[in-house]
């Protein structure tokens, strides 16, 4: 019999730490700027390149701006974009994957061709191309990442749908006259929830990296709004004289991405029906 989630989580110390990091980052993004009200955009020429101290726990940057405050605001941007893009990706992938897998035929062939074509392009290069075409900004990054990430969800959901549509419970539903919509929404989709949840968690981590890369290249959210990627880009020339300008935003990216990946692995192990806990 499967153990309760919390009981299994307490035994998996790495997953517990990862969940703690994600909760901490989420709370920092939501209430951090209110609890730590130092401006993230105000330039203070008297505080340029100050090392970490009690007044500035993560130091200041080349314009005297508090790095901790900018990291907190950057968390709000990165997590908002990543969650929104992941939701957009999964909605597109659900719609196309369910219909393609259940209906089959020419529609399935066409959707599969589009999926393969999308996955054939390097995801970051495709996202860069989209952000170059559209005006730079918050919503442009979400659209770019969603258009890049939907194909992997669609392929996963299509495969799950094909595997389940010939199962006994689906055949029984057809035999009693259930509509296609009811079969998909009440039978196939709930039985695909576990793999979709795992893929969703892993996709958030990859989108955090992608958003940071776009911001590093100047194609993400534009200044003066701080993002983790732009903080590294703007201050990379000071890596030898003031390494804290790079270290702390880099740690925020690495820890958050790694934590979401660990949570995805934990969910995969916990939700695997073939494992006994």
Query: Alpha-carbon distance 202 to 260, whole Å?
Result: 6
Residue 40: predicted pLDDT: 86
Distances (CA, A) of 174 to 96, 160, 210: 22, 18, 43
| Nearest-angstrom CA–CA distance, 203 and 225 | 24
pTM of the predicted structure, to 2 decimals:
0.89
Instruction: Please give, one letter per residue, the 3-state secondary structure of 97-120.
Output: HHHHHHHCHHHHHHHHHHHHHHHH
pLDDT of residue 272: 66
Burial of 95 (0-12, 13-18, 19+ CB in 10 A): middle
What angle, rounded to 10 degrees, do the helices at 244-271 and 193-216 form?
170
Question: 74 and 249 in contact (C-beta within 8 Å)?
Answer: yes
Mean pLDDT per 10-residue segment, the chain (277 residues): 67 87 90 85 87 91 92 92 95 92 88 92 90 90 94 92 82 78 82 87 93 92 90 91 93 94 86 57
Residue 232 neighbours by CB under 8 Å, 6+ apart: 212, 216, 246, 249, 250
Domain 70-271, what fold? MetI-like fold (1.10.3720)
Listed in sequence order, the DSSP H helices in the chain are 5-11, 13-35, 67-103, 105-120, 123-133, 138-165, 168-175, 180-183, 189-191, 193-216, 228-235, 244-271
For residues 47 and 56, the answer to whether their CB atoms sit within 8 Å is yes
Q: What's the pLDDT at 275?
A: 53
Contacts of 195 (CB under 8 A, 6+ apart): 156, 160
How do residues 222-244 score in pLDDT, each as one tens digit? 888 899 999 999 999 999 989 99
CA distance 133 to 215: 16
Burial of 250 (0-12, 13-18, 19+ CB in 10 A): middle
């Amino acid at each position: 019999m499967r153990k309760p989630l919390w009981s299994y989580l307490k035994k998996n110390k790495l997953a517990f730490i990862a969940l703690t990091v994600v909760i901490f980052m989420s709370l920092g993004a939501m209430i951090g700027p209110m609890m730590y009200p130092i401006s993230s955009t105000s330039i203070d020429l008297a505080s340029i390149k100050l090392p970490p101290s009690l007044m500035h726990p993560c130091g200041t940057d080349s314009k005297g701006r508090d790095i901790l405050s900018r990291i907190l605001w950057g968390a709000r941007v990165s997590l908002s974009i990543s969650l929104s893009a992941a939701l957009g990706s999964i909605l597109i992938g659900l719609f196309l994957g369910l219909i393609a897998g259940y209906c089959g035929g020419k529609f399935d062939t066409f959707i599969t061709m589009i999926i393969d074509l999308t996955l054939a392009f390097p995801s970051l290069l495709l996202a860069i191309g989209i952000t170059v075409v559209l005006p730079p900004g918050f919503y442009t990054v979400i659209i770019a990442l969603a258009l890049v990430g939907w194909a992997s969800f669609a392929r996963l959901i299509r495969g799950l749908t094909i595997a389940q549509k010939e199962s006994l419970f689906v055949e029984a539903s057809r035999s009693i006259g259930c509509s296609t919509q009811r079969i998909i929404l009440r039978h196939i989709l709930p039985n695909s929830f576990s793999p979709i949840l795992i893929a969703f968690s892993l996709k958030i981590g990859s989108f955090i990296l992608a958003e940071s890369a776009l911001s590093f290249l100047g194609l993400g959210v534009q200044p003066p709004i701080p993002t983790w990627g732009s903080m590294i880009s703007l201050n990379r020339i000071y890596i030898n004289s003031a390494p804290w300008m790079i270290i702390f935003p880099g740690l925020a990216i690495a820890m958050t991405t790694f934590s979401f990946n660990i949570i995805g692995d934990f969910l995969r192990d916990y939700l695997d029906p073939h494992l006994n806990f």
